[in-house]
Structure 1
């Protein structure tokens, strides 16, 4: 074999609302098992509003087919089926083309993103400064204009990114999912 023949398996799973944690646990185990198969070159996972796109690369079609036909994979797919809204959707690509192509997922309308972001940030921008106030009173140098704004902004950003936004977007996932009108607009 003169040249490495890379074959890519693209797996799309739309996860039922509220089942994301169970799916992610299943996914970690599946990735570990797949990595033990001959010719496995690695995996990338992209998550977008309840949809997971897993990109698995194998040295060749024979190695990929070995994984696809394995009893372990069949058992894993059977196990995850109750967590999926649309079943196991797979696609095979030859070569490295998929490595550099963007996600085909259509983002929610910007006005919807703005509404959700406002819904999350407004309460935090009112609450977080109040929570920091006792510390600013005790340590006046920390309550200065620059230091206090850095601490407050950092607190809000971390809370939004790691705590609130994932939960709120999961809660509003059906509303954020682009409508057929949004898809038509995106394709133009």
Structure 2
């Protein structure tokens, strides 16, 4: 069974942080080592849900994007104010062309992030709604097809909790990353990509 969210821990509480850093030429190896070490340090903090580093798409734009998630804003705040993080930040300064840019996302917008896109500029709501439905409809149908008979005797509230507890992590970590890539041509038209 998937993760069942408690009262204070819902998909809407999960926060995604996108840090953009433009690295000086020749400092890439040192930057990646330092960034990896910092990401490993973050894993020791409560609520850390994972991280990814996206390398520059081309040599013309030396911007790295580091994306990481925390379970709640309070968990994120503990990491951001930690002595460990502040020590790493001091070491980044001499490797960067300009100060880092940090963007914090929450809610459904975090489902619609792509490497090389500005994650803070989400697609229009109607597009996000339609793609979410395209992922959700078959997922719910399959759950009812496979587990419907087993769940039928379970009281309604408990049944709903079980289904949504399985469904939300499935959407967040498996279905939506794939659907976002598959529908990127529509979610992020090339004209929009060129302006990002």
* Shorter-chain TM band: 0.5 to 0.7
| Counterpart pick for 2:17 among 9, 21, 24 | 9
Partner residue in 2 for 1:104: 117
| Counterpart pick for 2:94 among 53, 61, 82 | 82
Residues 77 and 88 of structure 1 are in contact (CA less than 8 Å); yes or no, is this contact kept in structure 2? no
Q: Deviation of residue 96 (structure 1)?
A: 4.6
Residues 55 and 65 of structure 2 are in contact (CA less than 8 Å); yes or no, is this contact kept in structure 1? yes
Q: Where does 1:8-47 land on structure 2 (aligned, <5 Å)?
A: 8-47=16-55
Q: Deviation of residue 104 (structure 1)?
A: 2.3
Partner residue in 2 for 1:157: none
Mapped to 2, the partners of 1:65 and 1:46 lie a distance apart of 23
Q: Deviation of residue 92 (structure 1)?
A: 0.7
Q: Deviation of residue 184 (structure 1)?
A: 9.9
Aligned length: 111
Distance 1:96 1:55, change over 3 A: farther
Consecutive unaligned residues in structure 2, runs of 5 or more: 1-5, 119-190
Given the two structures, how large is their TM-score scaled by the length of structure 1?
0.54
Consecutive unaligned residues in structure 1, runs of 5 or more: 106-182
Q: Deviation of residue 89 (structure 1)?
A: 1.3
Give the 3-state SS of the residue equivalent to 2:26 in structure 1.
coil
Runs of 4+ deviating beyond 4 Å: none
Residues 8 and 96 of structure 1 are in contact (CA less than 8 Å); yes or no, is this contact kept in structure 2? no
1:68 and 2:80 are equivalent in the alignment: yes
Residues 42 and 48 of structure 2 are in contact (CA less than 8 Å); yes or no, is this contact kept in structure 1? yes
Which structure has the bigger radius of gyration? 1
Q: Deviation of residue 98 (structure 1)?
A: 2.9
Distance 1:78 1:186, change over 3 A: same
Q: Deviation of residue 47 (structure 1)?
A: 1.1
Give the 3-state SS of the residue equivalent to 1:52 in structure 2.
strand
Residues 17 and 68 of structure 2 are in contact (CA less than 8 Å); yes or no, is this contact kept in structure 1? yes
| Counterpart pick for 2:68 among 56, 70, 88 | 56
Mapped to 2, the partners of 1:21 and 1:77 lie a distance apart of 17
Give the CA RMSD over aligned residues: 2.4
Give the 3-state SS of the residue equivalent to 1:63 in structure 2.
helix
Q: Deviation of residue 86 (structure 1)?
A: 1.1
Give the 3-state SS of the residue equivalent to 1:17 in structure 2.
coil
